[in-house]
Amino acid sequence: MKYENRLTDTDKLQEKIRSHRPLDAYEVKQLKEYYRIGLTYTSNALEGNSLTESETKVVLEDGITIGGKPLKDHFEAIGHSEAFDLLYKLAEGQRITEDDILGLHRLFYYRIDAETAGKYRERNVIITGTDFTPPTPAAVPLAMQEFFGNLPTLRTLHPVEYAAMLHLQFVNIHPFIDGNGRTARLLMNLALLQAGYPITIIPPIIRGDYISALRDSNKGNNQPFINFITCCVWESQKEYLRLLESLDRK
C-alpha cells in the first residue's frame, strides 16, 4: 500500500490540539494511562507478543498473569510499561542522550536478559525478512556516536520527519541484541512528545506496510517510511483529539 505524505495535515491537527492546552493534571493522567496500554500492546504485538490489548491492560493494571501465555510476553509488557514512565520523564526535557536510549532499553529488557539489557550487542545479528546487514558489534559504538552527532542536523527537519528519521537511523544500526524495534518506537515517541505531539501508535494490522517501508530505507529510499510515519502521526492525532473532546464533555 502506498502512503501519502501527511505533514500538512499533521500541522493542521496540531493547531487544534494546541487549542485544548494546557491540560489539567487529571486529563494528563487519564491520557498517559490510556497510551501506556495502547503503546505497550501495539509495540509488543508488532514483534510477535501474544497478549491482546485487554490482556495487556489486565497484566499492567491488575497485576494478573494470563493463563497459557508465555512468561516472556508478560515480562515484555511490564518492562515496556516501565520504559513508558521513563519516556514521559525524558519528554520534559529537549535533549536525547546515549544514557536515555540505554535506559529505555534497560527498563524494557532487564527481566528478559539482565546481562544484555541497556548494553550494545557483542554478537552479529540477522534481521529476518530482509537482506539488510547491520553493523558488526565492533562498529556499533562508532555508529551510535555518529547517530548522536547527526541529531542537531536532524532537528532542523519538521518534527514528524525528525522523529521518523530517528527511528530509521537507530533501527538500521540495530545496536542491541534484541528489542531494537521497541526502543526505536520509544525513541520516535520521545522526539514527538518533546515537540508537543501526542503518542503515535503503529497498529499491528499494518505491520506488513511498516516492514516494507523499512526495507525501502535499507535500499536507500527513506521517503516511503517518512510518509508512513506521517500517516501514523495523523491518525494518532485524530484519536488524541477524540479523547480530548471526550474529556471536555459537559
Residues labelled catalytic = 174
Q: What 3 state SS string does the chain have? A: CCCCCCHHHHHHHHHHHHHCCCCCHHHHHHHHHHHHHHHHHHHHHCCCCCCCHHHHHHHHHHCCCCCCCCHHHHHHHHHHHHHHHHHHHHCCCCCCCHHHHHHHHHHHHCCCCCCCCCCCCCCCCCCCCCCCCCCCHHHHHHHHHHHHHHHHHHCCCCHHHHHHHHHHHHHHHCCCCCCHHHHHHHHHHHHHHHCCCCCCCCCHHHHHHHHHHHHHHHCCCCHHHHHHHHHHHHHHHHHHHHHHHHHCCC
